[in-house]
């Protein structure tokens, strides 16, 4: 090998390392920004409540306003919208569970416990995924996963105040939102819906949830249609940030980092919600809540760094 050839190979290797490092930094920035956007949007939900909105109202309009935003990339990329009926049926069913029922439960918990605690407890969903895979699909629980379950359980207990019945109600609702989201995630993997174009899946999910919420409103009448203009601006912003921009940034982050690393950085979402709740909504942040957050985050990190884990990154969280 000549000196010139060796020098050329060395330059190519150095160039590859530089590109890899640049892509890693880019992925960290994009994923973190996505998590921060997801973490900020609950503030918009709470502000909408102060103007007369309800959890049902925000869930409906967030999905309705997201439909044109999600259609845009599909149109620009000329992606055909036709799908077989069984696939559309599965997207609608599990989309309603993951994007409708889950979001509604999470939004319902905000007035009880605040956006920070609710988002943190919602992030128990990877733990519920492990339990579902163990109970229904007989997947083996490793020692690491057993430790994760114990740590997450201890973290959840830090949020409970037996003297405040209403707070317990909110914590239970937030925890159940994590369970329903876990059901959605397992279904996405088992039905191979996560292999489909994510824009198309999210687009049809938004349509399905919008229709579901209208049907839900017939017996309940919980969707408020007449609201101040500011409330609609909040919900439009929420739809664009959470259902479009944050999802796009997350997908790009996964492309550069991989799902496991991106999953860890997604923990900036509940951290951001906790900080925003304290800054903008005057929510109380106690030592017990901080300890609970640390324990739950530790459990999720243990799962995300486990090579045998079945945890995957969803198309976007529900915050």
CA gap 214, 307 in Å, rounded: 42
| pLDDT for res 258 | 79
Q: What's the whole-model pTM score?
A: 0.88
Q: Count CB atoms within 10 A of the CB of residue 129.
A: 24
Are 229 and 116 in contact by the 8 Å Cβ rule? The answer is no
Angle at 146 between CA 145 and CA 152, to 5 degrees: 85
Say how far apart CA 68 and CA 227 lie, in whole Å.
21
Task: Say how far apart CA 225 and CA 231 lie, in whole Å.
Answer: 11
Q: How far apart are CA 196 and CA 194, in angstroms?
A: 5
Q: What is the pLDDT of residue 100?
A: 95
pLDDT of residue 310: 53
Give CA–CA dist 166/248, Å, rounded.
37
What pLDDT score was predicted for residue 234?
Answer: 97
Per-residue pLDDT of the chain (319 residues; tens, 9 = 90+): 555 555 555 555 565 667 767 888 898 899 999 999 999 999 999 999 999 999 999 999 999 999 999 999 899 999 989 999 999 999 999 999 999 999 999 999 999 999 999 999 998 888 898 889 889 988 888 888 888 888 988 988 888 776 677 788 999 999 999 999 999 989 988 898 878 888 899 999 999 999 999 999 999 999 999 999 999 999 999 999 998 899 889 888 888 887 777 878 888 899 899 999 999 999 988 898 899 999 988 988 888 777 555 555 555 556 6
């Amino acid at each position: 090998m000549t000196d010139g050839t060796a020098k050329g190979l060395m330059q190519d290797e150095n160039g590859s390392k530089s590109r890899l490092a640049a892509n890693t930094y880019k992925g960290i920035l994009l994923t973190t920004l996505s998590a921060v956007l997801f973490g900020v949007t609950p503030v918009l939900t709470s502000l909408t409540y102060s103007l007369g909105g309800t959890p049902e109202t925000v869930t409906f309009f967030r999905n309705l306003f997201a439909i044109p935003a999600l259609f845009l990339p599909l149109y620009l990329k000329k992606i055909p919208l036709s799908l077989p009926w069984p696939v559309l049926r599965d997207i609608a069913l599990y989309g309603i569970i993951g994007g409708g029922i889950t979001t509604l439960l999470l939004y319902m918990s905000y007035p009880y416990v605040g956006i920070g605690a609710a988002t943190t407890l919602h992030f128990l969903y990877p733990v519920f995924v492990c339990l579902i895979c163990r109970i229904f699909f007989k997947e083996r629980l490793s020692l690491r996963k057993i430790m994760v379950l114990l740590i997450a359980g201890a973290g959840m207990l830090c949020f409970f105040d037996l003297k405040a019945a209403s707070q317990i109600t909110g914590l239970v609702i937030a925890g159940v939102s994590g369970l329903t989201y876990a059901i959605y995630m397992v279904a996405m993997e088992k039905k191979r819906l996560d292999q489909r174009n994510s824009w198309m899946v999210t687009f049809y999910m938004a349509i399905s949830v919008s229709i579901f919420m209208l049907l839900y409103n017939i017996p309940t009448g919980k969707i408020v249609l007449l609201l101040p203009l500011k409330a609609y601006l909040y919900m439009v912003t929420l739809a664009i940030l959470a259902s479009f921009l944050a999802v796009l940034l997350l997908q790009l982050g996964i492309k550069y980092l991989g799902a496991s690393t991106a999953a860890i950085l997604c923990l900036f979402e509940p951290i951001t919600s906790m900080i925003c709740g304290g800054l903008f909504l005057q929510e109380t942040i106690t030592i017990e809540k901080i300890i609970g957050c640390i324990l739950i985050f530790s459990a999720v990190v243990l799962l995300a760094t486990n090579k045998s884990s079945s945890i995957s990154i969803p198309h976007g969280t529900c915050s």
